[in-house]
Chain A
Amino acid sequence: MTTLVTRPEAVVEPPEEAHGPSGLVKWITSTDHKVIGRSYTITAFLFFLVAGSMAIIIRTQLASPDNTIVSQHVYNELFTMHGSVMLYLFAGPFAFGGLANFIVPLQIGAPDMAFPRLNALSYWLYLSGGIIMLLGFVTTSGAADFGWVAYAPLSNSINTPGAGPDMWIVALVLTGFSAIFTGVNICATVFYLRAPGLTMFRMSIFTWNMLVTAILILIAFPVLTAALVMLWCDRHIGSHIFTVAGGGVPVLWQNLFWFFGHPEVYILALPYFGAVTDVLAVFSRKPVFGYKGMIFATIAIAALSTSVWAHHMFTTGTVLLPFFSIMSYLIAVPTGIKFFNWIGTMWRGSITFNTPMLFAVGFLVVFLFGGVTGIFLASPPVDFAMHDTYFVVAHFHEVLFGTVVFGGFSALTYWYPKYTGRMLNDFLGKISFWLMFIGFWVTFVPQYLLGEAGMPRRIAEYLPNMGWTTLNRVSTAGAYMLFLSVAVMLVNFVEAWRRPIPAGDNPWDAHTLEWATSSPPPHHNFYWIPPIRSERPVWDHYHPEHPVEREHPPRTGGDEVAAARSTARPDSRAQFGSAATARGSVNPEGPSHEPRAAGDPGDDHEGQS
């Protein structure tokens, strides 16, 4: 068994034709999911750097008591925009814009997304929303400074006047539409454009998670849009939805916002869960342990996430504590199932610790601890003590940083060869990982302790006699380590660009369909698709020595099937290659309309459809 495998030589790839314009015009006019996906990834990564820089300023300000590096007003803008840019412009779009666009059509053997022009619209809405949000900084009022949750009545026109907050509202509506359209697109793509033989229960966990995320987006984001529209009306036409004066209800904003906000946490997390699942399986050389359990756990998390929003509002005194507490605890069950499945996937595998795998394992550790502190906070008595302290800050950073940054870097380093056709430097990747992993704990463990010591979140200054100085210093040092880690990752990208190491089709010996095509893939993605008989079609093709595990008993039954299974497989592999070539290629107009796997002799014996 070799690690670097190639596709059958029978596959003749026609020379890549020029498709339309190139350069800037191509970037602006393209409806190709790979171009859009790449744009999303790069844009989201730039927003990550912007929001990360804000975090560095925040941590520098907090390094010493009574610090005045930034004014209190600017500090409020910084933590608001740090949260908003990270959550709305980086964490979500990096996975659900970038990875979803680039990887999902490839993983299901499709030539593009279901609605390519809608997809382009999504990207441009997202980019304009992001720019509008950041442009708030150049208005006279400054950017939005009411926190990323914009609680009423702080966010009304009396307490937070000016154009900056309005631009924040508009930016969120635009990125919200972008997410909704991508959600529609992903659903239609997964329902309609799967390659012949790729049943729902043969899709990779990553694609499954993207589908569930898409549905969750369709449930959660429109509610935020509705709330934002009402907030805008309150600010501009003098309506009284969130103001007590005319009979409105301020806490209604919290209900509406968190009905979006809690599913949003899973909208951010589930795509990375999926990516990490793929990575763990690939680098353990094993199928995903508990494949269906993983899918049902994802669906259960998504379903539960719509009924836990009020655990953000325990201290408002307006919510039914036992109900929301129990529902929040329940989420630990499917998440626990996922954890055992992740461990089971690695168990007794032949694990190699390449950069993506290191980040994936780092994700497991970090997210586990974040999840456990989440169980503390789901208990109302603990929450009453810890609410709005640094304990909460440390908790959600551990959960979000764990999934989005560790999971995201795992996904990015894993799929980088498919995006660019080049390998990243594994050594630099490992340095970056260890800096991040150590820096992470150095940053956030002191914040748990600070929370227990009573330090409230969102304060720009504290007194020297509070006893918080040392822990804040340590936390700031950790933040600089994180900054360094990202810098090493950037150096790695530059190195890969300056001194390319060709990746080949399938450098990781992975098992999902995107690794069957070239890196980067040609215009319509596939000239050849292997027969799909399990959730690991590429592995089945390159490793005929491992028979496919069947989901259903063979229809014809009896000894002849066993015989066919042991003898016909190498044949079937060779013949499929030639059959595929004879047919030219996968029909770029839509592979799902093609009669499935014509000419595959294995077809008669496979009892599934």
Chain B
Amino acid sequence: MADAAAALERPHLRGHPSAERPQMLAVGVMIWLGSEFMFFSGLFAAFFTIRANAKVWPPPGTHLDTYQALVFTFVLLASSPTMQFAVWAQEKGQFQKAKAWIIVSLILGTAFLANQAYEWKTLPFRPRTNAYGSLFYIMSGLHGLHVALGLVAMIALLGRLAGSKGDPGETAVFQAVSYYWHFVDIVWIGLFSALFLLS
């Protein structure tokens, strides 16, 4: 589908091998996400090293509301398909539909962040309490930062939809943001498993 859209945008290249290639921006973002993957790997390495060195895990006094977090995990995961629907709509030129799906994703992402803020405010432990607290706040905080940047990117996409239609680079931008958003969602599955389920 992405290839077809790329070919549509570059009619003079139809049939030429380069028209079949995915867009450079989208590929560049994919490569960059590889480095983001390594970034979170470093955090997970710290988590599992500290967990392996601990006598009791999690340390006594750690109380988490796993069910509430699970609900908002599904909220965040639901925003991945809605973002993808936005990209598919944009590729077909249905800009109103694309805009609606982005607003839905934006709301879901904001709800997730709001829950995280609530958790941070109400949890009984702090980063300086113990190593588990440090890991919890650093890992969820860095992930939350990524979610927030994704929301900013979605607002930028809305701005882009408000302008002139059919900008040839536009599909690539939508794809790039969606790749990033899927990545952020998948990382959360790992973080949720580590911080809530393994604790």
Which residues of A line the B interface, CB within 8 A? 114-115, 180-181, 183-185, 187-188, 191-192, 217-227, 229-230, 233-234, 237-241, 246-249, 252, 255-256, 259, 592-593, 595
Chain B residue nearest in CB terms to A226: B42
Given A229-B142, A230-B138, A252-B49, 14 new contacts (CB under 8 A): A225-B39, A227-B42, A227-B46, A230-B43, A230-B134, A241-B131, A241-B135, A246-B133, A247-B53, A247-B131, A248-B134, A249-B50, A249-B53, A595-B16
Q: Which of B35, B41, B59 has the most CB of A within 10 A?
A: B35
Contact across chains for B134 and A241 when beta carbons are under 8 A apart: yes
Contact across chains for B54 and A247 when beta carbons are under 8 A apart: yes
B71: CB under 8 A from chain A? no
Contact across chains for A241 and B34 when beta carbons are under 8 A apart: no
Q: How far is the CB of A96 from chain B (nearest CB, A)?
A: 14
A188-B24 contact given A233-B127, A237-B127, CB 8 Å threshold: yes
Distance between Cα atoms of A180 and B127 in the complex (Å): 29
Closest 10 CB pairs of A and B: A226-B42, A239-B134, A238-B128, A222-B39, A247-B131, A223-B42, A222-B38, A218-B35, A239-B127, A188-B28
Distance between Cα atoms of A593 and B16 in the complex (Å): 8
The range of chain B's interface size is 35 or more
Chain A residue nearest in CB terms to B57: A247
Contact among A115, A180, A246, A249 with B49 in the assembled complex (CB-CB below 8 Å): A249
Q: Mark B50-77, 1 if CB is under 8 A from A, else 0.
A: 1001100001000000000000000000
Chain B residue nearest in CB terms to A220: B38
13 contacts between A and B (CB under 8 A): A192-B27, A217-B35, A221-B35, A223-B38, A223-B42, A225-B42, A226-B39, A226-B42, A234-B134, A239-B131, A239-B133, A246-B133, A252-B46
A188-B138 contact given A240-B128, A247-B59, A593-B13, CB 8 Å threshold: no
A240-B131 contact given A184-B31, A188-B31, A249-B53, CB 8 Å threshold: yes
- When distances are taken between beta carbons in the complex, the residues of chain A under 8 Å from B94 are none
Contact across chains for A239 and B35 when beta carbons are under 8 A apart: no
A246-B134 contact given A221-B35, A238-B127, A252-B49, CB 8 Å threshold: yes
Distance between Cα atoms of A187 and B33 in the complex (Å): 13
Distance between Cα atoms of A494 and B11 in the complex (Å): 52
- When distances are taken between beta carbons in the complex, the residues of chain B under 8 Å from A218 are 31-32, 34-35, 38
- When distances are taken between beta carbons in the complex, the residues of chain A under 8 Å from B54 are 247
Q: How far is the CB of A89 from chain B (nearest CB, A)?
A: 20
Q: How far is the CB of A542 from chain B (nearest CB, A)?
A: 29
Q: Mark B112-135, 1 if CB is under 8 A from A, else 0.
A: 000000000000000111111111
Contact across chains for B24 and A256 when beta carbons are under 8 A apart: no
Q: Which of B18, B37, B39 has the most CB of A within 10 A?
A: B39
Contact across chains for A240 and B134 when beta carbons are under 8 A apart: yes
Distance between Cα atoms of A192 and B134 in the complex (Å): 42
- When distances are taken between beta carbons in the complex, the residues of chain A under 8 Å from B27 are 188, 191-192
Contact across chains for A240 and B130 when beta carbons are under 8 A apart: yes
B196: CB under 8 A from chain A? no
Distance between Cα atoms of A499 and B53 in the complex (Å): 66
B9: CB under 8 A from chain A? no
Distance between Cα atoms of A92 and B188 in the complex (Å): 33
Distance between Cα atoms of A592 and B10 in the complex (Å): 14
- When distances are taken between beta carbons in the complex, the residues of chain A under 8 Å from B130 are 240, 246-247
Contact across chains for B46 and A184 when beta carbons are under 8 A apart: no
Chain B residue nearest in CB terms to A238: B128
Contact across chains for A247 and B35 when beta carbons are under 8 A apart: no
Chain B residue nearest in CB terms to A179: B35
B1: CB under 8 A from chain A? no
- When distances are taken between beta carbons in the complex, the residues of chain B under 8 Å from A180 are 32, 35
- When distances are taken between beta carbons in the complex, the residues of chain B under 8 Å from A220 are 38
B36: CB under 8 A from chain A? yes
Q: Which of B64-114 contact A (CB under 8 A)?
A: none
Contact across chains for A222 and B138 when beta carbons are under 8 A apart: no
A239-B32 contact given A248-B131, A255-B49, CB 8 Å threshold: no
Distance between Cα atoms of A225 and B142 in the complex (Å): 12
Chain A residue nearest in CB terms to B141: A233
Q: Which of B18, B46, B132 has the most CB of A within 10 A?
A: B46
